Amino acid sequence: MKIRGIITVPPDKSISHRAIIFSSIADKSSHIYNLLEGDDVIRTLNIMKSCGIRFEGDFKHLQVHPTTIKEPLQPLYCGNSGTSARLLTGLFSSQKGLFVLYGDESLSRRPMRRVTEPLLQMGANILGRNKGKNLPIAIMGKKLKGIEYSSHIASAQVKSAVILASLFANSPTIYTEPFKSRDHTERMLTYMGIKIKIKGNTIKVFPGKPSATEFFIPGDFSSAAFFITFGVIHPDAELTIKDIGLNPTRTQFLHTLQKMGANIELIPKGSDIEPYGDIKVYSSQLKGVEITSSEVPRMIDELPLIALLGVFANGITAVRGAKELRYKESDRISSTVSELKKMGAEIQELPDGFVVKGTGRLHLSELNSHKDHRIAMMLAIASLCTEEGKIPTIQGEEWVKISYPNFFETLKGVVK
């Protein structure tokens, strides 16, 4: 079996959510080109529609016509989407009316306190299930005040929720995070004319109304990461992935791969609101690597792939300081370790990560995605790298629709 191809991956999920939300509160109509047609983004779009925002066109080119956010008639369904739930909690805290957010089983278990805590300090009115820890939550929007807040977790979702609330507050907000998380919100809003001062891991957000703009959304680096991994671990691979977002707060995975000795070429092509370019990957001889807490936020969604890379690298690979992985669509430490173990990996679970020994082989097994899109995709790549070299039916593989609806078609297309 040979792996060859020139592919594109779906548009960036984080940027897609933000383009919809920020254009919905802009001064005039905006244009979004290349929006992700994945389940999570569709949740955000439907919620904004329920709040009176008008959309015209399709996912290739969507026009957004903003208006004052209206109190919705019904509770708002976030499905599996943490980004919708967290960012919109920030936005609705500052709008007039009652907003009730709820999610699916997985999202209903994920922590919301991290978002409501700073918002409550800003004066928000929020009630939530399980003593305020989980969805469903009910928000009675009101005028908020600016605060100075130091978060103990590096989360772009929390930071973005606070930034959204700050836009409508009566004074600026200063927000500090322990390590820098992805900065799509800061970039986009600055581009839309909002004043945000950035100094290290601290930002100061000034209230204001974003100016309408045009968004061109690049390919999702986190989706590309599955093919980058496939290319470097497969013994006969040559892949080009085109037009991927290369925001430095997202691409720590590339630096880690370089440390592991991967044969990768980066071809920067330009910079719009976000830098983007092509990546070429080739079969590589890898060595083990250690990942620590400061690197985690900039590669949070790629960490399950590090476990798979570790199986095919010489020596030991370890991820530590990544307890956040336990609060994703599944507990990604436990789901990664348990599924790769079924395939024969020598991998051990840690409270905040995992350690894997580079044995260089896996075998096919009955696998389960744990209803998590990224675990389903990691396991499909892992299965193709077994001696049998084929993808079994993975229980819950349909969850790829969250971020990468045509993943299996693209994957089959590069196997020659």
Residue 44 or 383 with smaller CB distance to ligand S3P: 44
Please tell me the number of Cα atoms within 13 Å of 339 on its side-chain side.
Answer: 31
From CA 413, how far away is CA 396, in angstroms rounded? 21
According to the binding rule CB under 6 A, does residue 300 interact with ligand S3P? Answer: yes
Which of 14, 89, 252, 256 touches ligand S3P (CB under 6 A)?
14
Q: Which of 257, 266, 263, 264 is nearest to 291 (CA)?
A: 257
Tokens 């708002």 sit on residue: 76
**Closer to ligand S3P by Cβ: residue 156 or 286:** 156
CB of 15 to ligand S3P, least distance (A): 8
CB of 45 to ligand S3P, least distance (A): 15
| 196 contacts 174 by C-beta, under 8 angstroms | no
Q: Can residue 181 be called a binding residue for ligand S3P (CB under 6 A)? A: yes
* Sequence-separated (6 or more) residues with CB below 8 Å from residue 1: 234, 236, 384, 389, 415, 416
Nearest in space to 308 (alpha carbons), one of 298, 297, 319 = 319
Other CB atoms closer than 10 Å to residue 92's CB: what's the count? 31
Give 118 or 358: the residue with its C-beta nearer to ligand S3P: 118
| Interaction between residue 157 and ligand S3P (CB under 6 A) | yes
Kindly give the pairing relationship between strand 3-8 and strand 173-176: unpaired
Q: Which residue is nearest to ligand S3P (CB)?
A: 14
The Cα–Cα gap between 238 and 373 comes to 25
Is residue 301 part of the annotated active site? The answer reads: yes
Of 177, 186, 324, 339, the residue at the interface with ligand S3P (CB under 6 A) is 324
Binding region for ligand S3P (CB under 6 A) out of 115-123, 155-163, 256-264, 381-389: 155-163
Q: Does 251 bind ligand S3P (CB under 6 A)?
A: no
Residue 155 lies near ligand S3P (rule: CB under 6 A)? yes
The residues of the shown chain that bind ligand S3P, judged by CB under 6 A, are: 14, 83, 155-157, 160, 181-182, 300-301, 324
Would you please indicate which residues are annotated as catalytic (active-site) residues?
A: 301
